[in-house]
């Protein structure tokens, strides 16, 4: 539902993507060649966005950022999770999991902020399927999928900035931007 007239997608309860309360139903169709067989599957999933606030530092023990063996510092911002659950699929009896986006401290070598993205999925196919090959294919596709998500997020982000009349990075040095700052 477009409640604000700007093309934003909102639930009837007023929740919107990014606010930690957004829910939607997503249909996904994929096709791959796995071990010489053409494989196609579809799944309809309920997606739920959550904002998870970090635990206290002493509860966050484990391998540190960039392989340091110390406590992982608590992120400055909360984690964002997108949980998904299969509600209908001819091929899967289970396709449930979570995407987690965790802000990290700046990289100690570059000073650039970093984000850790993780993906967990439990898959149970219906019928006889080479599960190991299916798991391998999913694992191999994660980097490609993440690059596609990043590309789409950046493109949408610039489109939002432009729609709101804000300057894009390539325009920051322009005469028009200088005049807007004065």
pTM for the model: 0.63
Contacts of 131 (CB under 8 A, 6+ apart): 123, 125
In tens, the pLDDT along 107-149 reads 899 888 888 888 899 988 888 877 787 788 788 888 888 888 7
In tens, the pLDDT along 64-76 reads 555 544 445 444 6
* HSE of 120, CA atoms in CB hemisphere, 13 A: 7
Determine which of 22-26, 77-81, 150-154 has the lowest per-residue pLDDT on average.
150-154
């Amino acid at each position: 539902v477009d409640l604000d007239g700007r093309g934003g997608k909102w639930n009837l309860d007023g929740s919107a993507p990014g606010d930690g309360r957004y829910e939607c139903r997503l249909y996904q169709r994929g096709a791959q060649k796995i071990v010489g067989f053409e494989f196609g599957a579809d799944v309809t999933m309920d997606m739920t966005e959550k904002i998870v606030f970090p635990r206290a530092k002493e509860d966050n023990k484990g391998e540190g950022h960039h392989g340091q063996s110390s406590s992982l510092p608590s992120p400055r911002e909360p984690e964002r999770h997108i949980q998904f659950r299969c509600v209908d699929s001819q091929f899967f009896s289970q396709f449930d999991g979570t995407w987690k986006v965790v802000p990290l401290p700046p990289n100690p070598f570059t000073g650039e902020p970093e984000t850790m993205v993780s993906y967990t999925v439990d898959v149970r196919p219906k019928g006889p399927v080479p599960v190991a090959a299916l798991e391998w294919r999913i694992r191999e596709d994660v980097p490609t999928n993440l690059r596609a998500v990043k590309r789409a997020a950046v493109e949408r982000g610039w489109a939002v900035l432009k729609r709101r009349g804000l300057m894009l990075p390539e325009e920051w040095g322009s005469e028009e931007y200088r005049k807007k700052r004065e």
